[in-house]
C-alpha cells in the first residue's frame, strides 16, 4: 500500500518525494502516510470505507469554507480510496498536556479548543450535507442505543460482570428518553477529544470529525473534559466547564442557563460509549492505548456517578458501574 501511496502523491505533485512512511495506527483501520519533500510534507490517507471517506471530504470542504480550523483536502483519487491532506504535524493536545501538565499554556489551549467548539456547534451545521453523515445523521434514539449496547456487549459482558438484562434495558430506555429531551439542533463533532486536536504554533486544529452529526451541545464538551487518559484534574474540568458555559451565555443565554440540566448525563453516555470502545479496541483488538485507558475510564465513571449523579434514577446501571473492578479487567488484559 505504501508504494501506491507514493505513486499517488508523486503523480499529484509532479515531483519525487524524499521519503514516505506509515504513521502509527489509531483506533480506526485507516492508514496514514507522511510524504516528505525537501521543503514540505503532506498526509496521504487510505481507507476502503468509501462512505466514510465521502463524509470526511464533504465535511472538510464545508468547514474550510467557514474558516474552521481543519486540514485542507488537496487531492482525492477517483475511487475515493486515497486522499491527500495538509500536514498538521504530530503534536496532539494529548501529548502537549502530558509534556506540560495542567499549566497556564495548556489551559489556554483548552480554552481555544472550547472557543472553536462553539464555532463548530453553531456554524458547522449550516449547509452541511447531512445525507452523507456516517453512519447516522443525528444523535437520536438509535444512536444512543447503539452506544449503550456497545458498552453492554464489549465491556460489561467481556468483563463478566453480573447484571439483570431486562432491568438494564429498562434503564437504557429511560436514560435515552431523558437525553432526547435536550435540544439537538447543533453540530455534534462526536469524537472531540485530545488525540483529535493538533497543536500548530500554539493553535488547535481539528481532525477525525467524520462521525459528526446533528445533536446536543453537551456531548462534545463531555468528550474533551472527561477524556479518560488525559485525566485532567477535577478542578480543571469545573473551570473549563464554567468557561464554556460563560461563552455560551454570550451566544444564547437560555441555552446556557439550562445546560447543566443535562450535562452530566451526557458525560455518562459518552463515558459508557468510550468504555465500549476500550473493550473492543483494547481487549478484543489488543491495541495498547485502549488497554491502558481502561483503569482511567473506570475511575472517572465511578467518580462521576458517586459525585455528580448521586441521585441518578437508573438503579441497574448504577449497580453495574459499582461492580467495575480494575483488577478484574487487568486479568483479562
Strand order in the sheet with 82-86: 19-22, 31-36, 41-46, 82-86, 73-76
Q: What is the pLDDT of residues 65-111, one digit of tens each?
A: 999 999 999 999 999 999 999 999 999 999 999 999 999 999 999 99
SS (H, E, C) 134-180: CCCCECCHHHHHHHHHHHHHHHHCCCCCCCCHHHHHHHHHHHHHHHC
> Can you tell me the distance from the alpha carbon of 333 to that of 316, in angstroms, rounded to the nearest whole number?
26
| Predicted pLDDT of residue 29 | 86
What are the C-alpha distances in Å from 235 to residues 39, 231, 240, 332? 43, 11, 9, 33
Question: Checking DSSP bridges between strand 31-36 and strand 41-46, what pairing results, if any?
Answer: antiparallel
| Predicted pLDDT of residue 197 | 98
CB atoms within 10 A of CB 55: 23
| Predicted pLDDT of residue 332 | 66
- Residue carrying C-alpha cell 474533551: 224
Q: What is the pLDDT of residues 131-164, one digit of tens each?
A: 999 999 999 999 999 999 999 999 999 989 999 9
| Predicted pLDDT of residue 131 | 96
Domains of the chain with CATH codes? 2-86 (3.30.200.20), 93-332 (3.90.1200.10)
Measured in degrees and rounded to the nearest 5, phi and psi for residue 330 equal -65, -35
| Predicted pLDDT of residue 333 | 62
CA-CA-CA-CA torsion sign (136, 139, 145, 147) = positive
Cell, residue 256: 446556557
What residues pair up with 22 in beta bridges, in sequence order?
33
Contact 32, 23 (CB under 8 A): yes
From the first residue on, what is the mean pLDDT of each consecutive set of 10 residues in the chain (333 residues)? 94 95 86 96 97 98 98 97 97 97 97 98 96 96 98 94 97 98 98 97 97 98 96 96 98 97 98 96 88 91 95 96 84 66
Contact 101, 39 (CB under 8 A): no
E-strand stretches of the chain = 19-22, 31-36, 41-46, 73-76, 82-86, 186-188, 197-200, 203-206, 213-215
CB atoms within 10 A of CB 32: 19
Amino acid at each position: 500500500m505504501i508504494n501506491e501511496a507514493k505513486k499517488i502523491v508523486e503523480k499529484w505533485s509532479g515531483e519525487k518525494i524524499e521519503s514516505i512512511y506509515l504513521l502509527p495506527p489509531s483506533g480506526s483501520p485507516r492508514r496514514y502516510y507522511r510524504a516528505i519533500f525537501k521543503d514540505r510534507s503532506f498526509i496521504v490517507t487510505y481507507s476502503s470505507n468509501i462512505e466514510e471517506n465521502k463524509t470526511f471530504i464533504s465535511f472538510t470542504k464545508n468547514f474550510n469554507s467557514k474558516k474552521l480550523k481543519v486540514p485542507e483536502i488537496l487531492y482525492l483519487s477517483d475511487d475515493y480510496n486515497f486522499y491527500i491532506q495538509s500536514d498538521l504535524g504530530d503534536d496532539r493536545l494529548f501529548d502537549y498536556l502530558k509534556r506540560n501538565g495542567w499549566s497556564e499554556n495548556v489551559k489556554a489551549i483548552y480554552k481555544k479548543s472550547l472557543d472553536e467548539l462553539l464555532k463548530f456547534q453553531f456554524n458547522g451545521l449550516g449547509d452541511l450535507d447531512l445525507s452523507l453523515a456516517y453512519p447516522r445523521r443525528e444523535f437520536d434514539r438509535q444512536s444512543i442505543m447503539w452506544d449503550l449496547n456497545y458498552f453492554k456487549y464489549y465491556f460489561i459482558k467481556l468483563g463478566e460482570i453480573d447484571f439483570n438484562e431486562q432491568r438494564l434495558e429498562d434503564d437504557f430506555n429511560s436514560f435515552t428518553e431523558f437525553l432526547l429531551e435536550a435540544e439537538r439542533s447543533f453540530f455534534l463533532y462526536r469524537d472531540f477529544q485530545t488525540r483529535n486536536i493538533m497543536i500548530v504554533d500554539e493553535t488547535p486544529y481539528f481532525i477525525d470529525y467524520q462521525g459528526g452529526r446533528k445533536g446536543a451541545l453537551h456531548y462534545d464538551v463531555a468528550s474533551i473534559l472527561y477524556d479518560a487518559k488525559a485525566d485532567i484534574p477535577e478542578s480543571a474540568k469545573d473551570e473549563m466547564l464554567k468557561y464554556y458555559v460563560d461563552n455560551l451565555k454570550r451566544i444564547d443565554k437560555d441555552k446556557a442557563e439550562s445546560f447543566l440540566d443535562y450535562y452530566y448525563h451526557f458525560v455518562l453516555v459518552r463515558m459508557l460509549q468510550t468504555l465500549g470502545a476500550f473493550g473492543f479496541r483494547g481487549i478484543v483488538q489488543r491495541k495498547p492505548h485502549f488497554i491502558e485507558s481502561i483503569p482511567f475510564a473506570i475511575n472517572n465513571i465511578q467518580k462521576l456517578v458517586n459525585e455528580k449523579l448521586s441521585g441518578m434514577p437508573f438503579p441497574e446501571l448504577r449497580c453495574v458501574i459499582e461492580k467495575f473492578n480494575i483488577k478484574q479487567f487487568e486479568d483479562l488484559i
